[in-house]
Amino acid sequence: EKNMGGGEEVVVLDFWRSPYAMRVKVALEEKGVKYVTKEEDLGNKSPLLLEMNPVHKLTPVLIHNGNPISESLVILQYIDEVWPHSSPLLPSDPYLRSRVRFWGDFVDKKIYAAAKKLWPAKGEEQETAKREFIESLKLLEEELKDGPFFKGDKFGYVDVALVPLTSWFYALEMCGNFSIEAHCPKIIAWAKTCQQRESVAKSLPHPHKIYDYVLELKKRLGLE
Amino acid sequence: MGQVKVFGYWPSPYSRRVEIALKIKGVEYEYVEEDLQNKSRELLLYNPVHKKIPVLVHAGNPIAESFVVLEYIDETWKGNPLLPSDPYERAQARFWAKFFDDKLLPAVRSALYNASEGEEAQKVNEDAEEVLKTLEKEVKGKKFLGGNEIGFLDIVGIVAAYWMPTLQEAADNKRQVSSHM
């Protein structure tokens, strides 16, 4: 049956550089759910990936007892609903849930979107992306005021949504020639706190590896 | 339970979906039509981050972003559930709703409004058709997008489907966009 909680098969179709895939791994680790990953080569997608995510053909895909779920934030909510008893990611109050969903959506629409434009761009285009990135991050930073996490003292949905991007911070800073800490010190402090969690340390690659990958990608795409 | 107010804009499908959800739940609300060229002080106060409609205010608490609002409505008023109860089915509904907003609406809007001439128009129309075909595969055989009861996805899709023929006429688009709906 689809919604059984325990004793089952959990597979993540993964891509090690993808912050979206990292979200899923962090969440599963937080919940203490056993899972296996299958690394995808997005230049050469496996038949399994194409079958499990025929619409977007992208990672991450969570396959739970053979049932595929796509879109990382949709996956996070699924994980929270199927394994509700350990480390809840979302609060139980509907209004607080709406706040958390709002900021998760903001992380995607503003912060990730700007980051994606930032690293490949040059000149004025890059300056615009940098501005958007920093301004959005600053807005979100205000939500840390009750800290250390976005929901106060509990690591949750918004933290899981944003923390994977911190593995890309070094690459973004190098490509954009700027310091994130200079603009958003609280975000950097929060990132360091998160890094101490096993779920995060296990799921995020070293920032230098991401930077090496970005350099290689830029060369391949002729973007230097 | 607290007063409900909706800040909306009648041509906006995002705004309409919130109203439809409230009506399905039988929730009474006060509606404020916004002039998007001259947004009210209240709207800016309630949605300082995006400054957009729709915004739902319930007992003084503001909620923005239409999907966030729909989920809030579903969790707060229990009758006539919008989302299925099974987590896997819920995930599917959320996936398709996102697909609708991220892919379908922009593609179709582009095809209907921006289509100029020649190659660019061709590409834009192809994108829209591709997206519509994907959705059609999903709709096949089902009474409503969510199965047999009207729900989340129908609310999301309904406004676009209703308006599609009118928009098409207005855009004088000869492509058969609406034949896929």
Which domains are delineated in chain A? Answer: 10-82 (3.40.30.10), 94-221 (1.20.1050.10)
Q: Which fold has domain B87-179?
A: Glutathione S-transferase Yfyf (Class Pi); Chain A, domain 2 (1.20.1050)
Helices (H), chain A: 19-31, 47-52, 72-82, 94-106, 113-118, 123-141, 157-162, 169-176, 180-183, 185-195, 198-203, 207-220
Which of A180, A172, A167 has its CA nearest to residue A218?
Answer: A172
Residue ranges, CATH 1.20.1050.10, chain B: 87-179
pLDDT in tens, chain B (181 residues): 589 999 999 988 899 989 999 999 999 999 999 999 999 999 999 999 999 999 999 999 999 999 999 999 999 999 988 888 999 989 988 988 888 888 877 777 776 666 555 666 667 667 767 777 776 666 565 555 555 555 666 666 665 555 555 555 554 444 444 444 4
Report yes or no on whether pTM surpasses 0.90.
no
Picking from A10, A102, A110 by the largest number of B CB atoms within 10 A of its own CB, the best residue to mutate is: A102
Note whether A69 contacts B68, CB cutoff 8 Å.
no
Residues of B in contact with A97 (CB under 8 A): 71-72, 75
Q: Determine the length of chain A.
A: 224
pLDDT of residue B179: 42
B99 to chain A, any CB pair closer than 8 A? The answer is: yes
Residues of B in contact with A98 (CB under 8 A): 63, 68-69, 71-72
pLDDT in tens, chain A (224 residues): 344 455 689 999 999 999 999 999 999 999 999 999 999 988 888 888 888 888 888 889 999 999 999 999 999 999 999 999 999 999 999 999 999 999 999 999 999 999 999 999 999 999 999 999 999 999 999 999 988 999 888 999 999 999 999 999 999 999 999 999 999 999 999 999 999 999 999 999 999 999 999 999 999 888 87
B68 to chain A, any CB pair closer than 8 A? The answer is: yes
Q: How far is CA A135 from CA A75, A130, A141, A189, B47, in A?
A: 28, 8, 10, 18, 17
Residues of B in contact with A27 (CB under 8 A): none
Residue ranges, CATH 3.40.30.10, chain B: 4-76
B48 to chain A, any CB pair closer than 8 A? The answer is: no
- CATH number among 3.40.50.300, 3.30.40.230, 3.30.70.260, 3.40.30.10, domain B4-76: 3.40.30.10
Question: Which residues in A have their CB inside 8 Å of a CB on B?
Answer: 2-3, 55, 64, 67, 69-71, 74-75, 77-78, 81-82, 94-95, 97-98, 101-102, 105-106, 139
Note whether B71 contacts A98, CB cutoff 8 Å.
yes
Rounded to whole angstroms, the Cα distance separating A16 from A21 reads 7
B25 to chain A, any CB pair closer than 8 A? The answer is: no
Rounded to whole angstroms, the Cα distance separating A63 from A9 reads 8
For residue B165, give the H/E element and its range.
Answer: helix B152-171
Reported ipTM: 0.91
pLDDT of residue A3: 43
CB atoms within 10 A of CB B114: 11
Note whether A78 contacts B91, CB cutoff 8 Å.
yes
Q: Determine the length of chain B.
A: 181
Residues of A in contact with B72 (CB under 8 A): 94-95, 97-98
